[in-house]
Chain A
Amino acid sequence: MTSRRIPNAIVLIALTLVTNVGSAQMHPIRVDVARDRVGAEPSTFIPMVGNWVVADEEGKEVVMVDGREWKRGQPAGGLADKARAIYGAKHEEFIDNVKAFAYFPIAVAKGIDDFQNGEISVRFMMVGGTLDRCAGILFNVKPNGDYLTVRFNGTEDNVVLWTFNEGKRSFVKRAPENFPLELGTWHELKIAVHGTQLTAFLDGKSVLDFTLKEPVSGKIGLWSKTDSMTEFTDFTVTPAVK
């Protein structure tokens, strides 16, 4: 069972400055919650929809989307302030679209304003969810609330790319193989973006390739669905040289 610990709200975005001269990779950026208070909202992710908290998993602070109190159409508390904080004057359109997508909990990573090329990876552990057991990488988040996600769904055992545009969710592509993953076990989901080329990986294995209509450009974060209870850790962004 996930336990709760004593407050210590300090934001940590660990910038590991690993410069590979001559490589296409830039500095990996690890979005961490190690110094956050367990039980509180993460300070390095901004919850827009759903209940996102810092949880203690065997002594390590992780981000958990807790679907136990999920209600249809209910954005996270303080959505207007959060949207204003990241999109300023354009936040109202963002709010309208986020409310349309309130079926899907999302949390936007702080400090990464425009991811275009490179890799995003996260380790996830499905804990529960009566209707859904999902873990996804959110990317290409636009000021109007449109976004893309590559997600694993533990009730369907598959990896799928979805697009969310102007209040409508559209299926894009499903990985051809199914992956029955057990609850309570850690797995890694990763995407690699190079221009319009998108590749998704599950546990290091390339599972899905797709050519997007236009290059990626936008905020990134974590994605989930309805009442999923999923833990996330080691969210790492490695931008690539343009």
Chain B
Amino acid sequence: MPSVRSLAAAALVAGFAGAPLHAQSSAGRCSPLDTTAKWYAKQRQWTDDSKHAWSNDSLRTALIHAAGLDADPNAGAGALLGYEIVGTTPDAPQGDAAAAIASLRTLAQNRGSTWPTKSVVGAQGVRAVWLLASRDSALARVALHRMMEAGPEESPPAAVAILEDRLRIANGRKQLYATQLVRSADGRLEPAPVEDAKHVDLRRDAAGLPPLAQAICAAAKR
């Protein structure tokens, strides 16, 4: 069963305002990151925590710490370009991460519980949950369900899309958003099998992800 390598990095985080956008602008044939594009604006709007409009600050802090986002102030603050490279086993969660994953799994089993969505832990807290879910397939399944249930105001569609693709590929199904890339025999990165490939960019647009060609180009430059 394929798994995903170094998700925090592989999903490629290109910084929002103030952070360098060199991931593509210096990348030769890759078109520059268009910060006026709708997908970018959509993600930027979603990740805006400036109003501090979350209800559970202690949970947010704990999740951010468990996911390691507090170690780097810029980590998790950028746009998801919508790719992950499938292939190797992620690091086994330990310490605070393992404890947080166990707590989230327990929380998910309690039907009436409040899931840490944006109004509860803010955008950064949701990103932390998403990163933790990338390290535990059981948590990933319940997190995807909870995120879809919560709706686009509470769960970032881009992250939901990546998570759904990851689980589909892990379960031997075709992906929907072409976010899971594999290396071909000649070393090129290409999407793992995609369902209804004809409409893939329409789905990526709906999820707030850049066109597939842009994501593959950026992935190849890493």
- List of A residues within 8 angstroms of B196 by Cβ: 127, 182-185
Query: Smallest Cβ distance from A174 to chain B, in angstroms?
Result: 18
Q: CB distance B206 to A67 under 8 Å?
A: yes
Instruction: Give Cα distance in the complex from A131 to B207, angstroms.
Output: 10
B151 within 8 A of A: yes
- List of A residues within 8 angstroms of B201 by Cβ: 1
Query: Smallest Cβ distance from A214 to chain B, in angstroms?
Result: 33
Instruction: Give Cα distance in the complex from A129 to B207, angstroms.
Output: 8
Task: Select which of A183, A185, A227 is within 8 A of B206 by beta carbon.
Answer: A227
Q: Is the interface of A mostly helix, strand, loop or mixed?
A: loop
Instruction: Give Cα distance in the complex from A130 to B162, angstroms.
Output: 10
- List of B residues within 8 angstroms of A183 by Cβ: 176, 195-196, 199
- List of B residues within 8 angstroms of A42 by Cβ: none
- List of B residues within 8 angstroms of A129 by Cβ: 206
Q: CB distance B151 to A229 under 8 Å?
A: no
Q: CB distance B151 to A1 under 8 Å?
A: no
B148 within 8 A of A: yes
Q: CB distance A128 to B202 under 8 Å?
A: yes
Q: A-B contact count, CB below 8 Å?
A: 58
Q: CB distance B153 to A130 under 8 Å?
A: no
B191 within 8 A of A: no
B205 within 8 A of A: yes
Q: CB distance A130 to B161 under 8 Å?
A: yes
Query: Smallest Cβ distance from A65 to chain B, in angstroms?
Result: 12
Q: CB distance B151 to A226 under 8 Å?
A: yes
Q: CB distance B199 to A130 under 8 Å?
A: no
Instruction: Give Cα distance in the complex from A185 to B197, angstroms.
Output: 11
Instruction: Give Cα distance in the complex from A127 to B153, angstroms.
Output: 22
Q: Mark A25-64, 1 if CB is under 8 A from B, else 0.
A: 0000000000000000000000000000000000000000
- List of A residues within 8 angstroms of B195 by Cβ: 182-184
The tally of residues in B whose CB lies under 8 Å from a CB in A reads 21
Instruction: Give Cα distance in the complex from A2 to B199, angstroms.
Output: 7
Q: CB distance B153 to A72 under 8 Å?
A: yes
The tally of residues in A whose CB lies under 8 Å from a CB in B reads 19
When C-beta atoms are compared, the residue in chain B nearest to A231 turns out to be B199
B104 within 8 A of A: no
Q: CB distance B151 to A128 under 8 Å?
A: no
Query: Smallest Cβ distance from A129 to chain B, in angstroms?
Result: 7
Say whether, besides A72-B151, A184-B196, A226-B151, A130 and B202 are in contact (CB < 8 Å).
no
B65 within 8 A of A: no
A178 within 8 A of B: no
Say whether, besides A227-B152, A229-B203, A128 and B198 are in contact (CB < 8 Å).
no
Instruction: Give Cα distance in the complex from A1 to B148, angstroms.
Output: 24
Question: Most B CB atoms within 10 A — which of A127, A128, A184?
Answer: A128
A206 within 8 A of B: no
Query: Smallest Cβ distance from B40 to chain A, in angstroms?
Result: 15
B125 within 8 A of A: no
When C-beta atoms are compared, the residue in chain A nearest to B38 turns out to be A68
A170 within 8 A of B: no
Instruction: Give Cα distance in the complex from A67 to B164, angstroms.
Output: 18
- List of B residues within 8 angstroms of A226 by Cβ: 151
- List of B residues within 8 angstroms of A182 by Cβ: 174, 195-196
A155 within 8 A of B: yes
* Chain B residues proximal to chain A, CB less than 8 Å: 148, 151-153, 157, 160-161, 164, 174, 176, 195-199, 201-203, 205-207
Given contacts A127-B196, A182-B196, A227-B152, 12 further A-B contacts (CB under 8 A): A1-B201, A1-B202, A2-B199, A2-B202, A68-B206, A128-B202, A128-B206, A130-B207, A131-B148, A131-B151, A184-B195, A227-B157
22 of the cross-chain contacts (CB-CB < 8 Å) are A1-B198, A1-B202, A2-B199, A67-B206, A70-B152, A72-B151, A127-B199, A127-B203, A128-B176, A128-B199, A128-B202, A128-B206, A129-B206, A130-B161, A130-B203, A131-B148, A182-B196, A184-B199, A185-B196, A227-B152, A229-B203, A229-B206
* Chain A residues proximal to chain B, CB less than 8 Å: 1-2, 67-68, 70, 72, 127-131, 155, 182-185, 226-227, 229
